[in-house]
Amino acid sequence: MFGYVLKRLLIMVLMIVLVSTMIFFLFRVMPGDPTAFLVDPSITPEARAQMLSRYGLDKGLWDQYLIFMKDLARLEFGSSYFYNRPVLQIIGEKLPATLILMFSAMALAYLIGVLFGAWMAWRRGSRLETGGIVFVLFFRSAPTFWVGLMAIILFSAGLGWFPAQGMRTVGTPSGSFAQMFLNWDFLHHLILPSIVAALYFMATPLLVMRNSMLEVLSEDYVEMAHAKGIKPRKVLFRHAARNALLPVVTSGALFIGSAIGGQVLIEVVFSWPGLGREIVTAVTRRDYPLAQACFIIISTTVMVMNLVADLLYAALDPRISYKALKG
Amino acid sequence: MMEKVSRVKRNVNTQSVFHQFLKNIRRDKLAMVGVILLVFFVFVAIFANSLAPHGARDRHYNEARKIRRLEPPSLAHPFGTTDVGRDIFSQVILGTKTALTVGVLAAILVTAVGSVVGIVAGYYGGVVDVIIMRVVDFFYAIPFIPFVIVLAAVTKPSMWNIILAVSMLSWRTVARLVRSQVLSISKRPYIKAGRVAGASDLRLMFKYILPNVVPLILLEMAFMVNWAITAEASIAFLGFGDPNVPSWGQILHIASSTGNARVAWWWVLAPGMAIVLLLMSIFFVARALEEVVDPRLRRR
């Protein structure tokens, strides 16, 4: 167990180095001069050169890369061209908002998905199942950002139930963590984006649960439970659903990568001050340090979650040992 | 002898897939609806230029010579007008072409690369497999939308670059699925028989194994069309699309960036519904195919 985790962590570090290298060179071939944003064009050439050397942009590409890697090892991401503050500080401010939105959406999606998926398998072949499939496929087909726009039209602009953007009402205090996240105002802002995100996330757990349930329902022990005269609902949730849950948990791993993409779009639509929205604005502003740090943090999050899902899989299914995972 | 048997088996397999698929479509009402909708969309895409009543950027004026600013749907403009008096109906029709072009081309590219990589990894196994799967793992660690945003910003905004960006990150899924299928197929006796009979590796991979994974590949291709269309729309929505090519994502981008998305519901509703209907029709068709690939899903 320990050896396996260690090996996975080592691979992860290697992957982070590779991803960071890729992103470093990608940003350097980008068209557009980052100095145009940094330095007033009317400035004298001497002052411009001074600015460039301050940010290390006068050095060769290879030297820049070495500095970048050394800094990465020390978790030093430099300072943002745009904000003129350490990148890590900005990410630290944005990350909680992203994680809270993502986890509340996922919890909601898995809860609805698992229950609804089990129910759909149970009602296989009925009209209700067809209706359910159309419903699920609708939200799987609809781009998240569009559902978000429609939700804003309906529930914010139309009915006025929820605020359309941001995560707190303008003017409320925003100093401490509690002031920002632990209050009704924040929750009120959280509801609409997390429901929209959950509708998008829901399809994967739901369809996996449904297929896995169909498989489990044809097993002998389910028939046996029926034969014993156990109430259908009890068979559904006590006997079948428990065993069908496993693939749902593991499917989470592969789905996290795409979930983060959806997250970016949701954050843009709802002006949610998170990491996803930050990477979009950073790229348009050609703010290299901030954009590449956001990217590295997001991919690291994906990798960590993949590892967690794998470990969870092994912990939940006694048939899978760490040895099998290695192979 | 074995050689003959395997050939017969192969032919039956490929034929029955198509047969089963047609049978599923005839039986499954949703799949039928999907086929009809899909044919409709393809028709609109092919004849988009003649079907669109106006140009995407034409401005329209009313009787009083004033710009038709943000008009809700009417007979003259079935999907309403934008803030500068452009016809949304025409934009949606022209966008169909972009969506389907990106979807189909990216899907072909992705499945071609993914299938070849998957077959090679699954067939050779050993070191080749390990190396390829590590590369696949690497691509899995890259978050899709953030990467595509960066790539779209690095390269000039154009439809081709979006196709390329989508393809670069999506072949991994196909490769992984095809590989696991090939792993089990290459252990079957008829492969061994073929090898004994002197068939080359290439022949074994593409004449013996490939036909057996074709249904899976087709299914993945259908999903990839949807994936690519959504990705293109997302990129265009974020403002990294080609400004000169009308697309559904771009319509939504302009609606939202001009701050009109909250009021002008027609501006948001039409292109979004187009995406939803197109993707759903492909999902419905894919479902009929899915039942061929995985017999357990068949209706009892």
Structure ipTM: 0.81
Q: How far is the C-alpha of B241 from the C-alpha of A317, rounded, in Å?
A: 45
What residue ranges do the domains of chain A occupy? 12-73, 89-326
What is the Cα–Cα distance from A102 to A184, expressed in whole angstroms? Answer: 18
Instruction: Work out the number of other CB atoms within 10 angstroms of the CB of residue A221.
Output: 12
Q: Which of B175, B283, B155 is nearest to B229 (CA)?
A: B283
Other CB atoms within 10 A of residue A70 CB: 10
With CA atoms as reference, the chain A residue closest to B270 would be A146
pLDDT at B110: 93
**Cα separations in angstroms, A278 against A267, A283, B204:** 9, 9, 50
User: Would residue B191 count as lying in a domain?
Assistant: yes
Instruction: Read off the pTM.
Output: 0.83
Which comes out higher in pLDDT, residue A92 or A326? Answer: A92
> Topology of A89-326 in CATH?
MetI-like fold (1.10.3720)
Is B199 part of any domain? yes
Contacts of A269 in chain B (CB under 8 A): 256
Q: Which two tokens stand for residue B1?
A: 């002898």
CA A190 centroid distance within chain: 16
Residues 141-180 of B with CB under 8 A from A: 141-147, 149-151, 153-154, 156
Structure confidence at residue A322 as a pLDDT band (50, 70, 90): low
- Give yes or no for residue A232 having a pLDDT over 50: yes
Taken in order B293, B102, B162, A296, the sign of the CA dihedral is: negative
Q: What is the pLDDT of residue A175?
A: 63
What's the rounded Cα separation, in Å, for the pair A325 and A306? Answer: 13
Sequence letter at residue A187? L
> Which residues, numbered 82 to 141 in chain B, qualify as contacts with chain A under a Cβ-Cβ cut-off of 8 Å?
137-138, 140-141
Query: What does the alpha-carbon distance between residue A258 and residue A261 come to, in Å, rounded to a whole number?
Result: 5
Substitution target in B172, B230, B266 with the highest count of A β-carbons within 10 Å is: B230
Domain count across chain B: 1
Tell me which of A29-33, A234-238, A314-318, B93-97 is least confident: A29-33
Cβ distance of B279 and A141 shorter than 8 Å? yes
> Rounded mean pLDDT of A63-80?
81
CB pairs under 8 A between A and B: 139
Q: Which of B129, B150, B177, B268 to probe the A interface (max A CBs under 10 A)?
A: B150
Q: How far is B289 from chain A (nearest CA, A)?
A: 15
Q: How much is the pLDDT for A254?
A: 61
CA distance A122 to chain B (A): 13
pLDDT grade, residue A177 (50/70/90)? Answer: low
Whole-number Å distance between alpha carbons of B278 and A247? 29
Per-residue pLDDT of chain B (300 residues), as tens digits, is 344 444 444 444 556 777 777 877 777 778 888 888 989 989 888 887 787 777 777 777 777 777 777 677 777 777 777 777 677 788 888 888 888 999 999 999 999 999 999 999 988 888 988 898 888 888 887 888 888 888 777 777 788 888 888 888 888 888 988 888 888 888 888 888 888 888 888 888 888 888 888 888 888 888 889 888 988 898 888 888 888 888 898 888 888 888 777 777 888 888 888 999 999 899 888 888 877 776 655 544
Kindly tell me if the per-residue pLDDT of A176 is higher than 70: no
Residue type at position B135? V
Question: What's residue B115's pLDDT?
Answer: 92
pLDDT of residue A187: 75
Q: Is residue B120 in some structural domain? A: yes
The two tokens of residue B71 are 């008009």
DSSP A175: S
Q: Can you tell me the mean pLDDT for A166-181?
A: 64
Measured CA to CA, the distance from residue B38 to residue B282 in angstroms comes to 7
| Contact assessment for residue B220 and residue B111, using Cβ atoms and an 8 Å cutoff | yes
Through-space distance between the first and last CA atoms of chain B, rounded to whole angstroms: 37
Confidence at residue B112, expressed as pLDDT on a 0 to 100 scale? 93
Q: Does B299 touch chain A (CB under 8 A)?
A: yes
pLDDT at B10: 47
Half-sphere exposure at residue A283, Cβ-oriented, CA atoms within 13 angstroms: 29
Size of chain A, expressed as the number of residues it contains: 327
Provide the token pair at A32: 């557009």
In a domain, B20, yes or no: yes
Q: Provide the shortest C-alpha distance from residue A10 to chain B (in Å).
A: 13
Of the segments A63-67, A252-256, B127-131, which one has the largest average pLDDT value?
B127-131
Structural domain includes residue B67: no
User: If pLDDT is split at 50, 70 and 90, which confidence band does A293 have?
Assistant: confident
pLDDT at A90 over 90: no
Quote the pLDDT of residue B3.
43
Q: What's the CATH number where B145 sits?
A: 1.10.3720.10
Q: Compute the residue count for chain B.
A: 300
The verdict on residue B245 lying in a domain is: yes
Please say whether the beta carbons of B107 and B114 come within 8 A: no
Q: Does the pLDDT value for residue A298 go beyond 90?
A: no
* Greater model confidence, B13 or A149: A149
Nearest to B262 among A157, A261, A291 (CB): A157
How many whole angstroms separate alpha carbon B152 and alpha carbon B146?
A: 10
